[in-house]
A and B are shown apart, each in its own frame.
Chain A
Amino acid sequence: MPACRRTPFSAFIPASLAPALGRCGALLLLGLWAAAAGAADIRLGVLAWLGSEEAEVQWKPLVQELERRLPGHRIQLRQYDLDELSRALQGGEVEFVVTNPGHYVTLEAEHGISRIATQVSAPSQDPAHVVGSAVVVLERRRDLRRLEDLRGATLAAVAEDAFGGYQLIWAELLRHGLDPEQGQPRPLFTGFPMPRVVEAVLRGEADAGVLRACLLERLEREGTVPPGRLRVLSPRADVGHCGVTSALYPGWAFAAARGTDPALSRAVLLALLSLPPDEGGQTWSVPADYHPVHELFRELKIGPYAFLRETGWDALWHRYWPWAAGLALLLLGGGLYTLRVEHLVQRRTRELSSALAERHRLEATLRSGQEQMDHLSRLSILGELAGTLAHELNQPLAAIGNYARSLLRRQQAGNLTPEALQQAAAEIASESERAAGILGGIRAFARKRSRVRQPCDLAQLVRESADLLRGIQAKAPAIALEDALPPGGRQVLADPLQLQQVLLNLFKNAWDAQEAVGSDAPIAVSLSAGEGRCRVAVRDHGGGLSPELQQRLFEPFFTTKPDGLGLGLSICKTIIEAHGGELAAAAPADGPGLVLHFSLPLAADGESTPP
């Protein structure tokens, strides 16, 4: 396998070429892994940045907890370094990966993996600001106070492609006018695990070292490093718990490989979100926005943006001219070397053109970024819902708390009247019902609720929903029902509660749209039958939507209301799809407004609830 060997050449090969070179190794391993993985096994690839023993200790609790929460599945923990993890994805050896944010962004572009959760170190923490790096120096080095002081120094780090271990500080240095690629400071790569960097600094082989945030504090606690020997260079004032030199980036990502079954992803996501914090206080949260990591990579021109370095033949020439000059010399040297040189030129040309092809591929990948985002937002909706759920539950819980504490205050002050007690108790009861309702709604969306299908009369459902709307909101406009269903085919097999939820949502949207333009026309609902299906259309006389907005209407978190969550219609769509229908929007045939319509298969006569 001579093409796989790392020749001195590889140092000059663009980073984007690396996966292509790694492919041959992956092919070899593919057969082995496929045989090893059992049917119900979930293979979880983790980046072992502290060495394999540490990784075992670090991820063991997560694996055990996931196994406990996913009965019938066995989790195989597989440890990889950066390149190995990429090859494992290439070979389809893992369903899920856990890796650092930088590596995640690279793998997302190269292998189409999608994050389902982000690691945070406290449940309340913002998942977008978790990972940082610290530059450590010997305490006695008075000459090193700021990042600028590293000019001409030697900087130890684990590897050039380590995110928290190097790239964050690299970017920080660039922002301070230093460029390690120009030898300011000189990078010294020690390899993993990270404590090697500490050794290099303690032994004086390097003036400074790059560590993941909080590692120094941890090593000091464990006694590996005597406290006070090392200090963090120019620690940021806005980060409290550990010394951090760089800006903070999103936490580690838990991501699903491209081919992983969405149902499995959902199950794992639910398990992750319900995990209690581990000993280090680490837990999982809704997926963060990794856009800042993209920005960082763009700045550094690495990862998915490595092609920015190769801006054309000029740049290639600029990079490779010493080689070309060498070749020219060899040619001049004449006869004996001619064949050898010819061979080299051919090889180089091949590599350059494959590098260009790879670059085009990556550009195409980035162009399709929007598509990926769409896919992602659907996959992570449950995670997002968990956040929404917390927010929604806060209001009733806060109200309940206020009533309860007020009762205590009145009781203690001796002025608690029976009327006040009754009022508070009634409010507490209704708020706790509301909280339970919110939980119930979310659970229904998570499809944990057992499937209900019973024959329902659609016209009756519409009337009930209309009554419900007026029951909740006295000012609601009238709902005009136009019922064109034949006497024989009026029923659909459905979950009446879920259909009511959909109808209520559509009515409420229609009302909001009309209120926005000050129209008090009745909301028109029409029922019609055809081809064994029943069509329901809800039409409002509001401002209407452009065709583009109509397209986006059903995306999660799309909303045209200033205070809207943008979840209603995406939930409705899911419900209707689960009933074998499709929810769509259209402009009305006459006048302004919007029509939302769906159709459901009519129930055959005598059909009843399946057990």
Chain B
Amino acid sequence: MNTTATPPVIHVVDDEAPFRRSLLFLLESVGWQAVGHESAEAFLAAAPAFPAGGGCLVLDIRMPRVSGLELQRRLKAGDPAANPFPIIFMTGHGDVELAVQAMKEGAVDFLQKPFKDQQFLDTVERAVQLSLERHAASRRHQEARECLERLSAREREVARLLALGQANKEVARALGISENTVHVHRQHVMEKTGTGSAAELARLILRADPAGLD
């Protein structure tokens, strides 16, 4: 939970070394932390060691062996949490079809080479914002889950019924226990989760699992 301080990192994957270095130089000029990778394979090899945090992936769509599109597919096929980076594609002249395909596969944007530096930096900025939002959402999700895991099995049942708006009496009937016991469970649930009402409890459960109240 100490990831808040990690600054976002921009990963640039392009087999053309001088061009890749020039992009890193440009990104560093405006204060971004940027890392270059000479191929999709090199990126995949380095990925497990990346610190958790925001950032984005700037990807050349045409590369030898593993293309940008292929890398996108591999990242998608893997654990989405392991790679939360939004992807920006760089395309050459006449690659519109590839770019459309990339967008369909979930890329956040694409830039047709040659592009203006401002356009590039704006696109990166938007992608990083998006990743930070995604990151925050996933952290809230994680926290909510950990919070609920502190409850016992019976407490979770009680919490779920309370979140659905049932009164103590109804919960007692549904679970076949006394109203008094429900009351005690309710106290524990509220204490352990730090919530003050059934509505807050419902929000917490939904944050941990969007289908948690179905």
Contacts and interface: CB of A to CB of B under 8 A. Distances in A.
B113 A403 contact: no
Interface string B88-114: 000011000000000000000000011
Contacts of A402: 19, 22-23, 25-26, 117
Interface in A427-441: 427, 430-431, 434
Interface string A1-27: 000000000000000000000000000
Given A401-B114, A427-B22, A431-B18, A391 B93 contact: yes
Interface stretch (A171-179, A405-413, A523-531): A405-413
A394 B22 contact: no
Going nearest first, the 10 A-B pairs with the smallest beta carbon separation are: A402-B22, A399-B22, A406-B29, A406-B26, A409-B29, A563-B64, A405-B117, A399-B18, A399-B19, A398-B114
Contact of A410 (B23, B29, B113, B117): B29
A430 B29 contact: no
Interface in A559-574: 561-563
Contacts of A395: 16, 18-19
B63 interface: yes
A511 to B, nearest CB: 13
Interface string B1-29: 00000000000000010110111011011
Interface residues of A, number: 27
A34 to B, nearest CB: 45
Interface residues of B, number: 20
Nearest to B27: A406
A396 B25 contact: no
A218 B65 CA distance: 50
Contact of B113 (A394, A423, A561): A394
B10 to A, nearest CB: 14
A409 B23 CA distance: 13
Given A394-B113, A402-B26, A402-B117, A430 B18 contact: yes
Contacts of A431: 18, 22
Contacts of A430: 18
B30 interface: yes
Nearest to A394: B114
A563 B26 contact: no
Contacts of A410: 29
Nearest to B20: A399
B15 to A, nearest CB: 8
B29 A427 contact: no
A399 B22 CA distance: 5
B62 interface: yes
Contact of A409 (B18, B19, B22, B30): B30
A561 B64 CA distance: 9
A357 B62 CA distance: 51
22 contacts: A394-B113, A394-B114, A395-B16, A396-B18, A398-B19, A398-B113, A399-B22, A402-B19, A402-B23, A403-B25, A403-B26, A406-B22, A406-B26, A406-B117, A407-B29, A409-B29, A409-B30, A409-B117, A427-B21, A427-B25, A563-B62, A563-B64
Nearest to B65: A562
Nearest to B120: A402
Nearest to B17: A399
Contacts of B117: 401-402, 405-406, 409
A356 interface: no
A392 B207 CA distance: 51
Contact of B63 (A394, A399, A563): A563
A70 interface: no
A424 interface: yes
Given A427-B25, A561-B64, 13 more contacts: A394-B114, A399-B19, A402-B19, A402-B23, A403-B25, A403-B26, A406-B26, A407-B29, A409-B29, A420-B25, A427-B18, A427-B22, A431-B18
Contacts of B93: 391
Nearest to A423: B25
A406 B25 contact: yes
Contacts of A409: 26, 29-30, 117
A397 interface: yes
Given A394-B113, A563-B62, A434 B26 contact: no
Contacts of B114: 394, 397-398, 401
Nearest to B117: A405
A4 to B, nearest CB: 49
B88 to A, nearest CB: 15
Contact of A424 (B16, B25, B92): B25
Interface centre among A397, A405, A413, A423 (most CB of B within 10 A): A405
Contacts of B63: 563
A405 B23 CA distance: 11
Interface string A24-55: 00000000000000000000000000000000
Nearest to B25: A406
A54 B96 CA distance: 39
Contacts of A401: 114, 117
B125 to A, nearest CB: 14
Contacts of A413: 29-30
Interface string B21-48: 1110110111000000000000000000
A321 B57 CA distance: 73
Contacts of A424: 25
Contacts of B25: 402-403, 406, 420, 423-424, 427
